[in-house]
Structure formats: C-alpha cells, structure tokens
Amino acid sequence: MGVLGSKWAPAGPPGLKGRRVLTLGASLTALADGPLAGADVLDGALDQLDDLAAGAFDLVLIDADGWEAAALGVAVKALAAAKAPPPVLMVGESLPAGLVRNLLRLEHADILEAPYSPEQVLAAMQGLLAAAQATPAGPASESRCWAVSGAVGGSGATTLAVEIAHALSTRRGKGRVALVDLNFADGAAAAYFGVAPAMRLAEFGASAERIDQAMLQAFATPVSDRLDLLAHPRDANAFETASREAVLRVLEVACETYEWVILDVPRHRRSWTLDALAGADEVLVISELTVPALLAARAFSDEIEDALGAALKPRIVLNRLASRMFGPAPSMAEAERALQRKSAAGISSDWEAAAASANLGGPIAQHRPKSKIVKDVQVLVEMLAAESLRRDGARAA
C-alpha cells in the first residue's frame, strides 16, 4: 500500500473488546464480566453528557432507572445536540415517552426494556457499534477517492472526471467533493469548469509537510458550494518542479478535507502515480470502442494490476458509445474479449452536449441535463457508491 493506504485500513470487528464505554447507572457495573467484558469502561455521572468531547467514547450505556427522568431527558437532549455523539443504549424498567423521544434525536440509539438478558445487551451494543461504524462520523473516515485515467489521449477522462465530481456534489447528503487535476503541465479540468486554477506546488520542494488544510483551501478553486477544483496553472515544467512528497501530501490532506476526492490522473507514469492509485478506492480506465483504445486500456489495466497486486482492480469505462457506429467497430462482446475483462460501465456519445458544455464552461449536467451522458454517469456513480458501501459493510462484519 502506498502513502495513502493507511487511511483506508480496515476497521476491526464490532465486538466490545477495547471499546470505550461510558456507563451511567450503578446497576450497570454488574455487566462488567458479561456483555462489557474486554471493553474499556468508565462508570460516570449524568452531567458528563453535557459536554462530551467528540470521539471520547464509542458507546454510552444508560440505566434509565438510575436517574430522575427529567434530568436524564435534559442530559440526553444535550448529547443529541453535540457534534458526532456516540451511540447510546438505554436500558430500564421505566422509559417515559418524553425520554424516549429525546433519545431518538440521536442518530444511533437503542432501547432495551427490563427484564433483559446479558446476551440481549451485548447484541444491542454490537448492533449500535456496527451501525455507527457504517456511517462514519467525520469527513476523514468517510473520504472516498476515485482515480480516473484515459487509456489513450482524448478518450474522455477529463470530461468524465468533471461529470463524476459534479454528480457527487449534487447527490443527496452534504459531502463535499474535490476534483484534483494531476495533469500539472497541461490540465484541462479548469477550462472544462470555466474557472481559474490556483494550485502551486513548485515551492514545496522538501517541505511537503507545510501543506495543511488551510494551504489546501488557498489552492482550491470553488466551483460550487460543494465542489472545489484543485488544479495547477499551465506550466511546462510543473511535473519536474512538483515533488512526489508534495503531490502525495496534497492528496492526503484532500482526503482529510473532502468526503469525495476525484483524481484526473495523467496517462504517463510519474514518480507518484502508483502511490496515488494505491491510495484510491477505485481506478477507472476510460476507453473508447476502437481497437487501439481497447488494446491500450487492456495494457494500462495490466500494468496497474501488476504493480499494485490484486487489491485494486481497475474498472474499464467505455466512453462515447454511439447508437450508430461509423465504419466497422467492435461489438461489446468483441471489446470485452480484447480487454480480457468486462467493462464496468458504458457512457453514451453526445458530441453536441460535450462540446457545448466545454465551450460554455461547466459540467454537461448543468448545460445539457437531458443528455444521455448525464444519466450514464449517474448510473456509474451510484454503482460505485453502492459498491463502496458494500465493502465497508464487509469490513465491519
């Protein structure tokens, strides 16, 4: 794994071992050798819920019978208003409706009515931990990086990177998106968006660690309220002057800052290319349905697989699929035979929409929302997003 790999280290199983649990209620100490065995337990008081630091505990276990209902209600309400509160399991005999209502303000909460068995307590705690893990609290843990590269020049890598980033930024949810154009010498993403690039990496020769979130904000060009572009002004020497450390540091900080990071990766390999790809969750190789492009896509994917091992299989996206081909063109089956792999998705051809949007500056989804390209990109984005959720689930299980 490359420099970026650590960020995506698989999370442990949702057992209680090593989990920091705040218990509220004297009766709960009886669970120490049962459901709480192995957990790092702190027996606390109600007022601790008032200003619980984010991430201080993995779980809060409350015995409602141990506290006066009104005071408990207020404390739970305060917790629900906190930033990234831990999941809460409340047990007890008397669970007044007002208290339960406050509890349900929390994203992850469960109730267990007495009498309950130790097994039920354990199962409820594990369920909450698993659910909390599946929806990570902050952007850092939630960050996804998808790399896009073209098998041959002009295959549509930049066009699709722009559309994918835009589609993610208009998706439900609040996650912010960065498109990082790694074509430092002659990147086109800024022109496709119709904005000015602002990232200067040359000055960070040996001091890449100086690049932090504030610096990244200075490098970023806002495209919309949820989408930033990180792109280098045209500079023939930029590949030589931008150090490997600086490039990887930008990617690392971008992943800490944004929920989605889309990379427009140049075809020709640089000293940082494999590290950048190794840190990505998906690598998309964009090809057209022509024999030279398919052969190049196959060779390019083979190279990536050879270098990075089986952990990361590039996905091939066939771009500019036309309903009517001009002259002899490979069929889909022939294409997949040439590729020696299945293609992950197809994107329709729509020259008018692509050219008009590029000329106006802005994504196709904005200027030609009815274009088939837009729908096809949406299908691709939802497929990849579902795939990453599934992977998270498999990790958490």
Ligand X SMILES: Nc1ncnc2c1ncn2[C@@H]1O[C@H](COP(=O)(O)OP(=O)(O)O)[C@@H](O)[C@H]1O
- The sheet with strand 260-265 has its strands ordered as 221-224, 227-230, 177-181, 260-265, 144-150, 282-288, 315-321, 343-348
Count of residues engaged in binding ligand X, rule: CB under 6 A: 20
Residues 80 and 105: beta-carbon distance below 8 Å: yes
* Binding positions for ligand X, 160-199, rule CB under 6 A: 188
Token duo for residue 363:
């994504």
Distance from C-alpha of 306 to C-alpha of 341, rounded to nearest angstrom: 15
Question: Does 287 participate in binding Mg ion (rule CB under 5 A)?
Answer: no
Give the nearest distance from C-beta 358 to Mg ion in angstroms: 11
Give the nearest distance from C-beta 28 to ligand X in angstroms: 59
Three-class secondary structure of residue 145 per DSSP: strand
Is the bond preceding 363 in cis, omega lying within 30 degrees of 0?
no
Give the nearest distance from C-beta 154 to ligand X in angstroms: 4
User: Which region, judged by CB under 5 A, interacts with Mg ion, from 60-68, 131-139, 157-165, 310-318?
Assistant: 157-165
Q: Which is nearer to ligand X, 88 or 147 (CB)?
A: 147
Q: Which is nearer to Mg ion, 143 or 149 (CB)?
A: 149
Kindly give, in sequence order, each residue whose CB lies less than 8 Å from that of residue 255, ignoring residues fewer than 6 positions away. Answer: 4, 7, 140, 143, 145, 261, 279
The interface partner of residue 373, options being ligand X, Mg ion, none and the CB cut-off 5 to 8 Å by kind, is ligand X
Could you tell me which of 126, 118, 107 has the C-alpha nearest to residue 12?
126
Distance of CA 189 to the CA centre of its chain: 21
Residue 343 phi/psi, 5-degree rounding, is -90, 150
Q: Which is nearer to ligand X, 261 or 321 (CB)?
A: 321
Give the nearest distance from C-beta 158 to ligand X in angstroms: 3
Kindly give, in sequence order, each residue whose CB lies less than 8 Å from that of residue 258, ignoring residues fewer than 6 positions away. Answer: 139, 143, 175, 176, 177, 178, 228
User: Which region, judged by CB under 6 A, interacts with ligand X, from 35-43, 130-138, 236-244, 347-355?
Assistant: 347-355
Among 221, 350, 374, 381, binds ligand X (CB under 6 A): 350
Question: Does 158 participate in binding Mg ion (rule CB under 5 A)?
Answer: yes
Q: Which is nearer to ligand X, 15 or 361 (CB)?
A: 361
Give the nearest distance from C-beta 10 to Mg ion in angstroms: 33
Give the nearest distance from C-beta 285 to ligand X in angstroms: 11
User: Which region, judged by CB under 5 A, interacts with Mg ion, from 156-164, 278-286, 290-298, 354-362?
Assistant: 156-164
Could you tell me which of 386, 368, 387, 350 has the C-alpha nearest to residue 166?
368
- The sheet with strand 88-92 has its strands ordered as 40-44, 20-24, 59-63, 88-92, 109-113
The interface partner of residue 326, options being Mg ion, ligand X, none and the CB cut-off 5 to 8 Å by kind, is none
User: Which region, judged by CB under 6 A, interacts with ligand X, from 37-45, 89-97, 196-204, 352-360?
Assistant: 352-360
Distance from C-alpha of 80 to C-alpha of 62, rounded to nearest angstrom: 14
Question: Does 369 participate in binding ligand X (rule CB under 6 A)?
Answer: no
Give the nearest distance from C-beta 172 to ligand X in angstroms: 25
Token duo for residue 379:
């299908």
The interface partner of residue 347, options being Mg ion, ligand X, none and the CB cut-off 5 to 8 Å by kind, is ligand X
Among 102, 133, 158, 221, binds ligand X (CB under 6 A): 158
Question: Does 125 participate in binding ligand X (rule CB under 6 A)?
Answer: no
Give the nearest distance from C-beta 385 to ligand X in angstroms: 21
Tell me which residue has tokens 């041959």.
Answer: 152
Q: In Å, what is the CA distance from 316 to each residue of 4, 116, 156, 336, 384?
A: 23, 52, 12, 10, 12
* Binding positions for ligand X, 220-279, rule CB under 6 A: none
Question: Does 319 participate in binding Mg ion (rule CB under 5 A)?
Answer: no
Is the sign of the CA dihedral 390, 392, 394, 397 positive or negative?
negative
**Interaction site with Mg ion (CB under 5 A):** 157-158
**Interaction site with ligand X (CB under 6 A):** 150, 153-159, 188, 286, 319-320, 347, 349-351, 354-355, 358, 373
